[in-house]
Homo-oligomer: A and B are copies of this chain.
Amino acid sequence: MPADTPPTSKDVAAAAGVSQSTVSMVLSGKWPGRVSERTAQKVRAAAERLGYRPNPAARNLRLGRTRTIMLVIPTITAPFFASVHLGAARVAAEHGFSLVVFTWPLEPGGPFDGPQEAIDGMLASSMAEATLAGMRRPVPLVMLDSDPAGTAPTVNFDIDGAMRDLTGHLADLGHHRIGHVAADIDVWTFQCRAAALAARVPDVVTERAAISFTTGFEAATRLLTRHDRPTALVCDDDTLAVGAYKAARALGLDVPGDVAITGFDDMLLAEALELTTVRLPAEQLGARAMLGLLDLLNGRTPPRPVLPAELVIRRSTSPSAPLTTDGHTEPAARTAS
């Protein structure tokens, strides 16, 4: 008996005094009616005793599948995508799948010209389906936070509903002139925000910015130095909202007294600066997408859920909140869900 090499089903068979194929039958759970309970017992005991774990490479080769799913995201360092990953990985693990992350195509310095591993399916978030074309042999695919008009099933947020709540909230506060700090990335999720906002605020003025504090700062500064200065800035995500917040402060404007500011995502940043924002349930997005992919792999038609996105009202839009000179307030208010 080899000492430092993992036990194989053959070793288990020898230990249990049965054939290797019987071991396989028993351990794969297909034995009832084909193997006696007594034999199954022996096999399980031997496997346990030896610490046997089936060799995944052998199984994959035999079965022609890998139980590996690739998650394609623009970046792993944005908390939003880290949460998507978490949700997807959890569901994957619960079903015996593993998840590899592929950051593409935006990650600076990414070394990939394409993923190396063989995969059974793919999840891709916040990008155009066409982006994935020619990437590899086609496998079942679910798109997240992406254009539902594509061919792949999607899991999305109710951006439109969120924008309705958000513009309604701003209207209630008496805001007429709205500025939009828009992400200058040409993907559906941001197009969707722009369309939903324009539908409700036809005279919205827009400035585009890459997603960073400084670019958000600059875009917001352009908006806030117009002669018809907006009284509210709707930002496409929390990072841009932080930039906008700083821009307002730099211009000597009070938030929310002179200008209201909102974001999207509800990451730690928004909580730290007490920004009103739309909470996008990223972890749930990842989980539901993985569930949909599992459906696809089992030949079922997955649902195409649209997840509710909750408006989280905090100080940056609450003129009624007790203002202090330094901007601190009591714990953040939340809308009832």
Interfacial residues, chain A to chain B (CB-CB below 8 A): 6, 51, 53, 55-58, 60-61, 66-67, 76-77, 79, 82-83, 85-86, 89-90, 93-94, 96, 98-101, 103, 107, 109-112, 115-118, 137, 213, 239, 242, 246, 249-250, 254, 268-269, 271-273, 324-328
Contacts and interface: CB of A to CB of B under 8 A. Distances in A.
Nearest to A241: B272
A77 B66 contact: no
24 contacts: A51-B137, A53-B118, A55-B61, A55-B118, A56-B66, A56-B116, A56-B117, A76-B85, A86-B103, A90-B111, A96-B116, A98-B116, A99-B101, A100-B100, A239-B268, A246-B328, A249-B324, A249-B327, A249-B328, A250-B328, A254-B326, A272-B272, A272-B273, A325-B326
A76 B86 contact: yes
* 3 nearest A-B pairs in the assembled complex, by CB-CB distance: A249-B328, A57-B60, A57-B61
A93 B112 contact: yes
Contacts of A273: 272-273
Given A60-B60, A98-B100, A269-B272, 6 more contacts: A55-B61, A56-B117, A67-B116, A93-B116, A98-B117, A239-B268
A94 to B, nearest CB: 5
A25 to B, nearest CB: 21
A272 B61 CA distance: 50
Contacts of A94: 111
A86 B98 contact: no
Contacts of A58: 57, 61
Nearest to A324: B249
A170 B184 CA distance: 41
A116 B54 CA distance: 10
A280 to B, nearest CB: 14
A269 B325 CA distance: 21
A151 B1 CA distance: 28
B116 A90 contact: no
Contacts of A112: 93
A273 to B, nearest CB: 6
Contacts of A76: 82, 85-86, 89
Nearest to A282: B77
B86 A107 contact: yes
Contacts of A239: 268
A307 B292 CA distance: 43
A119 to B, nearest CB: 10
Contacts of A61: 55, 57-58, 61
A114 to B, nearest CB: 10
Nearest to A109: B90
A96 B112 CA distance: 10
Contacts of A117: 56, 98
Contacts of A90: 109-111
A214 B118 CA distance: 44
B328 A326 contact: no
Contacts of A85: 76, 101
